Structure 1
Amino acid sequence: MKRFTPPEQWQVSSLQTGAFSHLRELFKVDELTNWPAPQWFSPFLKAINANNIAISFEDDAKVDFGDRYYEQVIFETGVVPTRAENWHDLFGGFIWCLFPKTKALINQRHVQDIAQYGLQKRTKHRNALTLFDECGVVLAISDTKWIELLREHQWKAAFVDNKNEWGKTIKPFMFGHANYEMLTKPYIGLTGKALFVSMPDEIFCKDLVTQYQYLDQALYEMINTDNCLADNKQLSPLPLLGVPGWHDENQDASFYDNTDYFRAKRRIRT
């Protein structure tokens, strides 16, 4: 079944916050004057799917889905159906460019799961793959203290007290393209799902392209070998507007006083 979303107005002003800094640096999105066509991604793409077919982007309206599901089309043909003038699919294209190995593996895992369980039954594995694909944030860390601070919802300690360490011992990399879409119109309550990935100190000093290449390989191994997305247990809530540098209002420490957004850890009684 074809998907349809009405065209949206291209507003480069939506991409000016810190959350989009990587896209501005690597793709110069702030210099675009209109919606890029699907083929615009071609110079940036180095992705090959698990069928050894090069990934390409084509207008969703021109793709013959037949009876196939979205992920099956990508796996069988290498074509990523891309809706015209659509934020969600635009950001999905950027993620294919930045995490080609991981995206191809997630696509393969979806197809394998569908082959085994069918489309009607959503397994824990497919739910986790989808959640990370849509809402994931890779938190590259060289200090394990961040895992406890953020998993335990110690928001002020993580975002205020240790603010100066962001970019040095912890650095966020967006994976979920739905996060990017929602950040074009940010709102209180916007929350992603963090996955912690260890990264050596020396990689923090490398250029952004090298950092993405390192993380793409690390994520591939974590999913393929360690099966970290067997379920949602390793994904941790992350209030996206609290990430230092991603939202102008969080420069004031009082921003984190909103406990409806920066919620305390829920304790489960035994």
Structure 2
Amino acid sequence: MRYVAPTREALDRGVLASQPLSEWSSFASFLREEEWPGVEGLNALWPEGSRHRFVEQDKALLDDGLHYEERIARHGAIATRPGNWHDLFNAFVWLRYGPLKRALNARQMAEIAIMGPRERSRPQYALTHFDEAGLIVTLQDSAMLDAWNAHDWHRLFWIHRDAWRRGEARVEVFGHALLEHALTPGKLLVGKALVAMGRDDAAASCAEAIAAGAVLNDPLELRPLPVSGVPGWHPDTSSESFYATAPCFQPLREGRAYPAPYTNPWSRT
């Protein structure tokens, strides 16, 4: 079933104080105000010298005949629908994770050059899944990765809950569709994750790995993570039974295996 976000008038602003939206507090004014922000206000947040701009998506823009990704690559123009949560969160992600977004765009353009604008390759599906629902997860304890590999959610989130609380395991929500879904209080969120072990520069190294084609060549590289299980991210994470009963905690599908955490030989050491 297609997700329908609450209207701006009906939004429970209390969700802005809960994870993952609380991590985006620097953009809170764009969410709390009664009126929808325009592209002018968003464009004022770009760092000086940026070639990218948000442009309102209207008929005149679409009449240029360009694919969404082509317009970004050629002109730095990011089509943004007015009054639209999905595109507003996309703008936030561009502003915070510019190198990641640029890496995805470059890879999409390389695939479009091969496939054309109407067909999609396995890498394109992987890139799109990460763009929409992506998580960057950093772990320090290999035992937590073992639990994740087995879909042992009780062990990953409950037994190791102190590691999450201490920041030894961290999640950065990158996917703008996932942020949009978080507008519904208590909604169970599942993202598509890339995982790094023990890195302080996970987002930067992830961008470099994507740009180099080292990751996101197939959607099966992405690990599902019921991110609502992270302690404190959902009201029920204080209850051990939550990890046995909530429908987001699915067992491992027979024959499913995950790749090792991404490594990036081009990154800083």
Instruction: State if a TM-score over 0.5 links the two structures.
Output: yes
Q: Residue 268 of structure 1 aligns with which residue?
A: 255
Cα distance change, pair 261–67 in 1 and its aligned pair in 2 (3 A) = same
Which letter maps to 2:39?
P
CA displacement at 1:151 relative to structure 2: 2.5
Cα deviation 1:118-167 (Å, max 9, x = unaligned):
12321000000000000111102233333222122110111111111114
Q: Output the CA distance in 2 between the equivalents of 1:19 and 1:57.
A: 24
Q: 2:115 aligns with which of 114, 117, 136?
A: 117
Q: Output the CA distance in 2 between the equivalents of 1:239 and 1:220.
A: 23
Alignment of 1:1-270 (within 5 A): 8-10=7-9, 11=11, 12-24=13-25, 26-29=26-29, 32-34=32-34, 35-46=36-47, 54-61=51-58, 64-65=61-62, 66-166=64-164, 167-185=166-184, 190-200=189-199, 203=200, 214-225=201-212, 227-258=214-245, 260-268=247-255
Unaligned 5+ segments in structure 1 are: 204-213
Q: Output the CA distance in 2 between the equivalents of 1:47 and 1:91.
A: 21
Does the CA-based 8 Å contact 2:38-2:82 persist in structure 1? yes
Q: Which deviates the most, 228-237 or 60-69?
A: 60-69
Does the CA-based 8 Å contact 2:52-2:78 persist in structure 1? yes
Does the CA-based 8 Å contact 2:190-2:227 persist in structure 1? yes
Cα distance change, pair 17–259 in 1 and its aligned pair in 2 (3 A) = closer
Does the CA-based 8 Å contact 2:16-2:28 persist in structure 1? no
Does the CA-based 8 Å contact 2:104-2:211 persist in structure 1? no
Q: Which deviates the most, 95-104 or 178-187?
A: 178-187
Does the CA-based 8 Å contact 1:19-1:245 persist in structure 2? no
Query: What is the root-mean-square deviation in Å for CA atoms of aligned residues?
Result: 2.6
Aligned length in residues: 248
Give the ranges of 4+ consecutive aligned residues of structure 1 lying more than 6 Å apart after TM superposition. Answer: none
CA displacement at 1:230 relative to structure 2: 0.8
Does the CA-based 8 Å contact 2:5-2:181 persist in structure 1? no
Does the CA-based 8 Å contact 1:16-1:30 persist in structure 2? no
- Identical amino acids, percent of aligned pairs: 29
Cα distance change, pair 255–59 in 1 and its aligned pair in 2 (3 A) = same
The two structures have a TM-score, normalised by structure 1, of 0.82
Unaligned 5+ segments in structure 2 are: 257-269
Q: Residue 211 of structure 1 aligns with which residue?
A: none
